[in-house]
Each structure stands twice: as C-alpha cells, then as structure tokens.
Structure 1
C-alpha cells in the first residue's frame, strides 16, 4: 500500500479539479423533481426561489380541542359543589351502602288501676236477685268508666278488676285519665251505696294505682305475673273508698298541677288523692249526670 502511494505521487499526473457547473435559473413554477430524464438518485433537492423564500405570515395554529376540553373541565370543577365527591368516588373503590339501623323502640309507660269490692261477706244478707242486680250495676259502672277513659279492662276470677291506661294511646294524659277514672268510680260507689242503704250494707270500693312499662298487649295471665299489677292489687287492699297511688305518681310534675295528693302512713311509700284541681271536678259531675241519665233510659 505504501509503495503504490509513492509511485502514484511520483509518476501520476495531477487530477484536475472539476469546474463548478453554472446554476441554471428556474422559474418559480418549474420543479427539477419532475424531470423524467434524471434518475431518482440524481434528482437535486428542490430550490427555493426568491419569491418563495420571502417570509410568509404565520397562521396561528388551530386550538387543540383536547386542551379546551380540559380547561372547561377545570372551570366546571371550580363551580361544581360536588366536584370533590366525584373525584373521590372515581378514585376510591365502591362502598356497599350500610342499611340504617332501626332506632330502638322505647317501652311505653302504663298506669295500672286495681279495683275491688271490699267486705263482700256482707253481701250474704242481700237476697240473691238484689245481689245480682247490685253486681250488674257495678260491672256497668266499670265498663262505662273504661270506655270513657280509653282503658284496657281485665276482670279476674275473684271479681277484682285491672284497668290499664297506656301512654301510646293517651299521650301525657294517660296518668291523668287513670286518676280521673279512679275518682269517677269512687263517686259511682257512693251512688250504689245509696241504693243499698236500706239493707244495712256498707260498700267499700278499694282502689290502687301504680306505674309500669311494657304492659301493652300482654295477656291477662302475663299481666298478673308483672310486678306492677301485683303492686296495684296489694295497694288496693289498704283502700277504703279512697284512691291510693304509689309515691312516684305524686312526683310527676303534670299530676301535681292537676290533683292534690298527700302521703299516708300505711302502707309505706303510698299516697292518697285528696281532690282534683279544676276543671276536672266539674268534668266528673257532668259525666256522672250523663251516666245517671243513660241508666234511667
């Protein structure tokens, strides 16, 4: 290789430099790329004429629709009050809705009024027909009072009676209804006493009132097993034509406005209804008058 280069340098004639070809002038409309006699490799690059080399005004690029949509979405998010909720719901997994737990049902309050006829051994002195009539009148008075004051009536085998007054039926007046019903029965017993006065019999109506919960809808057997019913029956044993109530009834603010109640020595923890406050005494008088007229009819 070195020997060939030395021989070429010493004996070969210098290679003449090629003369540059003159650049032909073309009209703006002609295009070298369209010459059919040139091979594809020999086609020169298109020339830019002076006219075409002039700076043309640059048209603004058309707005990108995608960007516009994104900007509109951003504006919408600023005004959408639920945008944060939607973003969180898109990125967070779906949560199964939890059923709202039912609110616990509060037990309803009830008042239990126990009613008994005392000293029943005296009834032996009455003729059978008159005794039957007296007892029927007594039962009618209980039925009328129970209907008047929306009471649930239970008659026991020994002849005693339990009358229930529920808060879910009478609202806050359930306790007032129980006391008014007891006072009405007390007044009716006075009317019955007048009817048997010639026989020498002294009627004794025994009344006891207690408070309890969850007594609505109970059968008579289940009711007798409750402490409230047993307390009412026991309290009535101490009554002699008076309405006896347990002490917490006297502590009720509404009852203190509607009745005058005082504690008694026996039994312990019991109170006695002395009188009702107006307008309840006047109401009882009207009820007694209507019941007397209905009995005559």
Structure 2
C-alpha cells in the first residue's frame, strides 16, 4: 500500500489514513450493550440458514480476516460478518475490553440477523474468537444451529479448565502498556508495516501471506483508539481460564479446522473433544488461516459438515 496514495482524514487535529470497509456488501451499524458495532451483509438464497463470520483477536484484526469466506458465500446464502468492539469500523473508545464485551457483540450481531431471518444461525469464528463464540452458544443455545472453529485457541499449553472462570489478565502489564509516555509509540512500533509483516509470516507459517491483509492491517491499526483493544489482548484480559471447559460443554454440532504451519499448531488438548459425536475435524496443509490458502478445500469440507443440517431443514 506504500506504492499508492492513501486518503487521509483528520480527527481532533490528528491526521489518519482513511479506513475503507473491510468487506464488500452492505454495512449496518448497530448499538447495544457492546457499543457501536459494524456488521457487513450480503444476500443469498432463501431457505438457507444465515452464516455469521467472526474475525480473530490480535493487534491488527478486522472483518477482512474472513473476506475469502464472505465473498465465497455471498449470493449462495445470507452471509454476515462483524468488526468486534475495538476493531475495524466498530467503536474503539477507551473502555474495558473483556470477554463479556466480545461475547455480547456476538449476541448483538445474532439478534440483528434474527430481525432479518427466521431460525438459528450457523456461526464460524477464528482463533481466540472461537472462545467467545463457544461462550455465546452456551449462553443462548437456541440462537445457533451449528458452530465452526478455525484455528481455535484453548487447546494449547497448560489446560485452561478452571471451573471458577475468569480471565488471564495481568494488571501490571496493562498498566505498563498504558503509560502515556510510551503507550502510543509502542503501539506504533508493534504495528509498523515491517512488524505486521513479521507477525503475518508467523501466522501463515510462510513468506507467502496475503498482501491485502497486510495492507488493511496497517490501515486499521493507524486509526483513533486503535491500541485500546489490542492492549487488553496482550495483557491477557481476553483469554478465558475456562476455555477448554466451554468447548467440552457444547452440544451443538461443531466443526473444527486448523493448519500445520506457523506459530499456531499446538492443539494437544484436542483429544478431549475428539471422541464426541457432535464434533467433526479437518486439518489442512496451511497456516492458521487456511481459507486464504485453500479456500476450495475449506469450503468443501465445511459444506460437507453443514449438508445434513441443510437437508434436515429442507435446504439445498
């Protein structure tokens, strides 16, 4: 994106690159318990359950992370995606970014979809947002028909199975990150084009990462308030201590997929759900975002998972 002119906008006397919407389709802004949330939609065949796509959580995410899936399903079925609080075109105000806030945003998106379509939704999330989706499905099970998790967190390392719940927040780190003397400068360093490139290569497990994601990640991290939600992520406040228990409690049909390259390949506790009748699994020869590398294979596997539910509902 450094080869082309970038539009600028001015907010409170400071100049920022203008942020386009991450997806084509219609954008609707809704307001509720999670604040203002941007939702993107595209129409599709009637009689098919709507699909909600949820991006991951890191320093640079947005609904752009689900773009290949959104574009693929647009026209085939009603498809929706959202920018979670603190990211993309949603509210980025200085507030407490928490597991509850992210879960409430998913509920708000599902409620908006419910105003347009009858019946439950199929929902697909990436990485850490899989934990939020699992929690949302346990809180309001009737709202969801099926769940899909791509590269989900919660199966790695020391088991996160604390029945008391809570998050892994580190107050000392959050305080350090928010010291005014270096808070802005540190985030600018973390979100320089070279830093974003470094982390994308680790995510994709390859030098061959998506150029459009790189460009959009730079733009979205150079907006007013862009550091607040990522700092909550880095400080551990968006990681649930009971993530593994959430997955084990699910009774919905669940599809789980992940790659084998890069920094996100630790699924040692996947064995705790592998024998369950409601879970299905696919592994792809990719990094953490297989839908960017093997879209046809991913959508074919996902469609195969959905097929019996569509047939039971009388869909195509």
Structure whose residues are more often helix by fraction: 1
User: Shorter-normalised TM-score: what interval?
Assistant: under 0.3
TM-score by length of 1: 0.24
TM-score by length of 2: 0.23
Q: Which structure exhibits the higher relative contact order, with contacts defined as CA atoms closer than 8 Å and separated by 6 or more residues? A: 2
